Amino acid sequence: MAKADHIKKLVASFGRNQEFRAATLRIIDDAANQGKRPFAESLRKILDANVRHDYQAVPQPGLTTLASQIDPAADLLDEVAVTRGLNDIVLNPDMRLLIEGIIEERRRSEELRRHRLPISTRLLFSGPSGCGKTLCAEVFARELSMPLYSARIDVIISSFLGETASNLRRLFEFATRKPCILFLDEFDALARTRTDTAEHNELRRVVNSLLLMIERFKGPGLVIAATNLPQFLDEALWRRFDDILSFDPPTEREIELLLTRQFANFPAHFDVSTTISKLVGMSYADIERICFDAIKKAVLKKRKSVSETEFAAALRQETRRKSLTSNRSL
Ligand SMILES: Nc1ncnc2c1ncn2[C@@H]1O[C@H](COP(=O)(O)OP(=O)(O)O)[C@@H](O)[C@H]1O
Ligand SMILES: [Mg+2]
């Protein structure tokens, strides 16, 4: 049962979409936490189908495509399809707490604002590739029911240096107009400290205006910057973010969770815990690929489960692939 308080809030928020959505999301969360997933999911669908976000423009037939075409930042962004939520990401306990805390804060931002408390709007994700930075941006979008836009860093870094700052300005203006998750992947490419180039002064100006834009960004959505190369980030940037989340390769505990998840629908016919030690040091994406390869092998042999031999072959394949790609980057 939903808690009495939540039902009271729901009724009290009648007529105010954003508060009504927040109150319903609390009930959905409670149901999901109590293991009532089918109910939680159907309520979520009913909510999304019937209760508009305040920021969703009333659709005007024929105008929506036009509006997106003429948005002054449309050339700088790609909208990313959002399907995966908190249940689809494996996280260590500290990260889970941190991420759930940010989501809760955003969902209940009205309450916090009433107490004049600041709300996290700027996040920096750092960590090696394949460890969930992009996935986590999707999770935020899904959990907060906001669209996810990925910035086209290559377009933003214009060949005319003078345009880079104005491109960034257009991007941040977009995220100020439209509640969304603005994802700045490969952030290091934008925010490098390049002291050794002839264009030093101009680049310095770009980094400085980026610093200001991040500092001034107050929502309504979230700006998430991600980097695999934190060592290249301008030092002054770190302080501009409300939270820094470090996405590390999985430890044994997370590897076990990931394997359990991967073999949930197509079982492994051996004790997968015996393979965990061989997977330490790999990224989530690597391990996921090994599982997919092993399952593929079993499916092609028309079997109903993965054997230890298939898993070992998939692991060898991944190790070979890795050694080829690392040789190339030497
Ligand atoms: N923490 C994780 N939990 C579950 N799956 C993950 C995780 N990290 C990565 N993956 C899987 O690997 C894929 C690639 O990861 P991604 O989020 O793109 O990594 P990054 O952006 O850090 O390079 C994801 O789409 C997902 O399928
Ligand atoms: Mg990524």
Q: Ligand 1 pocket by C-beta < 6 Å: which residues? A: 89-91, 129-135, 247, 284-285, 288
Asked if the model's pLDDT at residue 54 lies above 60, the reply is no
| Centre of ligand 1 from the C-alpha of residue 163, in Å | 33
Range list of H helices, 183-307:
187-191, 200-216, 235-238, 252-262, 276-279, 284-300
**Could you say which architecture CATH assigns to the domain 252-322?**
Orthogonal Bundle (1.10)
Expressed in angstroms and rounded, the spacing between residue 325 Cα and the centre of ligand 1 is: 19
pLDDT tens digit sequence for 78-137 = 999 999 999 999 999 999 999 999 999 999 988 998 999 989 999 999 999 999 999 999
CATH of the domain spanning 62-246: 3.40.50.300
Which phi and psi angles does 197 have, rounded to 5°?
Answer: -110, 160
Cα(330)–Cα(319) distance, integer angstroms: 17
Instruction: For residue 187, give the amino acid letter.
Output: F
Name the residue of 140, 188, 246, 284 to mutate for ligand 1: max ligand atoms within 8 A of Cβ: 284
Describe the crossing of helices 93-107 and 17-33 by its angle, rounded to 10 degrees: 150
Backbone angles phi, psi at 157, to 5 degrees: -80, 85
d(CA 29, CA 33): 6
More confident residue, 126 or 46: 126
The mean-pLDDT minimum among 4-8, 130-134, 175-179, 217-221 falls in: 4-8
Q: Is 229 left (phi over 0), alpha (psi -120 to 50) or beta?
A: beta
Domain ranges of the chain: 1-54, 62-246, 252-322
Distance (Å, rounded) from C-alpha 306 to C-alpha 268?
5
Residue 175 contacts residue 182 (beta carbons within 8 Å): yes
Cα-to-centroid distance, 251 and ligand 1 (Å): 15
H or E element, residue 183: strand 181-184
Q: Rounded mean pLDDT of 265-291? A: 94
Q: What is the pLDDT of residue 279?
A: 95
Token pair for 282 = 């790999």
284: pLDDT strictly greater than 80: yes
Q: Which residue from 288, 267, 290 is spatially nearest to 84, judged by alpha carbons? A: 288
User: What is the Å distance from ligand 1's center to 11 Cα?
Assistant: 39
Residue nearest (by alpha carbon) to ligand 1 atom 5: 89
Mutate to test the pocket of ligand 1, among 90, 95, 135 (most ligand atoms within 8 A of CB): 135
CA of 121 to the centre of ligand 2 (A): 20
Q: Is 15 helix (H, G, I), strand (E, B) or coil?
A: coil
* CA-based nearest residue to 132, from 262, 287, 241: 287
- Using CA atoms of 58, 64, 66, 72 in order, give the dihedral in degrees to the nearest 10: 70
Pocket test for ligand 1, best of 288, 289, 291 (most atoms within 8 A of CB): 288
Question: Which of the ligands is closest to the CA of residue 245?
Answer: 1
